A and B are shown apart, each in its own frame.
Chain A
């Protein structure tokens, strides 16, 4: 069995869901040790144990929360010197990406990014990565040791298996040279809305919405359905809505019960992030749009008329 590390990202003291998803796959690939850094690391170790970690390396230095990427890179590089792992798994999340990139460059091993699955093969590891805009899946073999693989959130299902991890203190000194990009403030802008990743209904808008002024129509429908609003890359790039709303290869992956794509043509970049949805409904002017070929129900018509009518009908139904 190989030695597999999971970088268990913490977010303001709590384990991120992706960390436990990674644990589920890591257990199949070898003996798992997790690394938890920053506030809440010690508490997280118990959970990681229940999810199959044999050892959890912890360090609760405030530098891990206050400074971007470099302290975590130092800790992982230092631990790597002591005990060379075969594989290091990271979530494909903004903060983990920052750490993984620096670590891969420092260890001169490269990495495989944006993977949807990973398997052991011939003593090494092969990851499945969306390629060619998502139309194809590439099997990518890591040629160096350790293999560093970043896995898209929601690729695996987290599952408790019981167990207790041995907790080890990760001894590392974070010197001033690594305390450079200082997070001085965290500003929360989103309101009490349903999170895109957790929503059971997602309504996403694309260029067919005509402009940012029409996005409130989607918000209204989302609130009537208790869902969340997403967007295509095209409208995020156009500055209509923030990046946090982007669904797709380079945005978020969602798999809600119902996904309603409004004015979205269905480029691979987008569909790779939503095609695992249970039911897909598409509303589009163009009957030939690729999204129509994958939707359970495709409606050819004017989204700006259909969406408000649908919102009214949903509200009437609830009464």
Chain B
């Protein structure tokens, strides 16, 4: 099975985000492979280990997004493609999906694995857009995948349980964090990753015109904040104070 996993480099979720002058998110903070994508890479590797094939990582970002791909390669993925072009800075979901689709199409994968949504942008719209542009079906919120020949049986997370979804390859799935526990890269894996290929491609190579952005940010305002109430140390009376608040709110 030929598997493409889309991966994104994001500002470390444990550090504070910054903003550029044009209101796009700053990429200058410490950057890591999106934790959701790590789960996608892991799922891709497990499927390859069980059914054979190849795992290709496709990313879009500045030159240094290579580090995120390298991380996935050190976990065991075979090779990477980095879509990098100054014109793509601040790209919206549609442009992102178009670029990814153009880079993925020539690979003709059996399966495309995405995270459910990125840590920084969090629009969650790239997976269905990408599936549409690739002309393949999608199963989002996948929490388990079984392979039966060219049929995938996907457990799709819902609010009250899951759906069992059957789909033939080629297909795209977006995975939830629970699908697989990402492995740590071994020293051997880290060494091997150094010599694995990361192919850089630009918009021109993909035959894509940037075009007019689908949406523009007109302005930013501070989100409403709540006023702080009282903060107390638990000296044994905390439970009584909480009960008092619950009584005032008429829930007990």
Contacts and interface: CB of A to CB of B under 8 A. Distances in A.
Query: Does more than half of chain A's interface fall in helix, strand or loop, or is it mixed?
Result: mixed
B142 to A, nearest CB: 11
A301 B238 contact: yes
Interface string B46-90: 000000000000000000000000000000000000000000000
Interface stretch (A78-86, A126-134, A157-165, A167-175): A126-134
Interface string A98-142: 111110111011111110000000000010001111111111111
Given A101-B132, A143-B212, A279-B245, A296 B163 contact: no
A237 B35 contact: yes
Interface string A201-230: 100000000000000000000000111000
A184 B219 CA distance: 45
A101 B223 CA distance: 27
B221 A136 contact: yes
A275 B226 contact: yes
Query: Does more than half of chain B's interface fall in helix, strand or loop, or is it mixed?
Result: mixed
Contacts of A132: 17, 19, 25, 220
Interface stretch (B103-111, B171-179, B186-194, B195-203): B171-179
Nearest to A244: B159
B132 A73 contact: yes
B54 to A, nearest CB: 24
A249 interface: yes
Contact of A250 (B117, B138, B214): B117
Given A181-B137, A294-B225, A313-B239, A242 B178 contact: yes
Contacts of B229: 280, 295-298
A243 B215 contact: no
Nearest to A285: B234
Interface stretch (A23-31, A41-49, A302-310): A302-310
Given A114-B122, A136-B220, A258-B246, A102 B132 contact: yes
Given A68-B139, A181-B167, A105 B129 contact: yes
Contacts of B6: none
Contact of B219 (A139, A309, A313): A139
Interface stretch (A2-10, A32-40, A55-63, A186-194): A186-194
Name, among B19, B132, B168, the residue most crowded by chain A CB atoms within 10 Å (CB to CB). B132
Interface residues on B, range: 35 or more
A182 B239 CA distance: 51
Contacts of B25: 132
A97 interface: yes
Contacts, number: 276
B177 A236 contact: yes
Contacts of B176: 243
Interface residues on A, range: 35 or more
Name, among A101, A138, A189, A272, the residue most crowded by chain B CB atoms within 10 Å (CB to CB). A101
Given A68-B138, A299-B234, A280 B117 contact: no
B164 interface: yes
Contacts of A137: 220-223
Given A70-B137, A180-B137, A131 B220 contact: yes
A141 B138 contact: no
B178 A112 contact: no
B213 A143 contact: yes
A140 B220 contact: no
B9 interface: no
B218 A140 contact: yes
Nearest to A288: B231
A295 B229 CA distance: 6
A126 B19 CA distance: 21
Name, among B97, B125, B224, B230, the residue most crowded by chain A CB atoms within 10 Å (CB to CB). B125
B28 interface: no
A134 B221 CA distance: 11
Interface string B223-243: 111111111111000111111
Given A142-B215, A183-B165, A317-B243, A297 B252 contact: no
A112 B218 CA distance: 13
B12 interface: no
A314 B159 contact: no
Nearest to B151: A182
Given A139-B218, A180-B168, A188 B160 contact: yes
Nearest to A127: B215
B146 interface: no
A100 B247 CA distance: 44
19 contacts: A98-B128, A105-B128, A110-B92, A111-B125, A143-B216, A181-B139, A182-B165, A183-B165, A186-B161, A187-B162, A244-B160, A257-B250, A275-B226, A279-B248, A292-B228, A294-B226, A294-B228, A300-B232, A310-B239
Interface of A: 68-70, 73, 94, 97-102, 104-106, 108-114, 126, 130-144, 150, 180-190, 195, 200-201, 225-227, 236-239, 242-244, 249-250, 257-258, 269, 272, 275, 278-281, 283, 287, 292-302, 305-306, 309-310, 313-314, 317-318
Interface of B: 17, 19, 23, 25, 35-36, 92-94, 97, 116-117, 122-133, 136-141, 143, 156-168, 171, 176-178, 181, 212-234, 238-243, 245-252
